Amino acid sequence: MPQARVLTDHEQKRILAVVAQTKHAPRNQMAFIPSYQAGMRVGKIASLTVGMCSRPTRRQ
């Protein structure tokens, strides 16, 4: 099986610009970004919870 082609920076920015104009932009961005930057598959992205995605705040 051939290697998948990697998006260029320009292509990634174009996709994010289109996604930003959709009805549910934040949700769609959160689906695209881990898929592209972390190589996560759809099933893993769908199983993410808020706790997995946010960093705990430090109390001083």
Compute the distance between CA of residue 52 and CA of residue 43 in angstroms, rounded to an integer: 15
Contact 29, 19 (CB under 8 A): yes
Please indicate, yes or no, if residue 28 is contained in any of the structural domains.
yes
In terms of pTM, does the model score above 0.75? no
Q: How confident is the model at residue 60 (pLDDT cuts 50, 70, 90)?
A: low
Q: Measuring CA to CA, which residue among 21, 23, 26 is closest to residue 53? A: 26
55 is a domain residue:
no
Closest CA to 6 of 45, 28, 18, 15: 15
Question: Is the residue at 24 inside a domain?
Answer: yes
- Name the residue range of residue 28's domain: 9-48
Question: How does pLDDT run across 28-55, given as a tens digit for each residue?
Answer: 888 888 888 888 888 888 888 877 777 6
How many structural domains compose the chain?
1
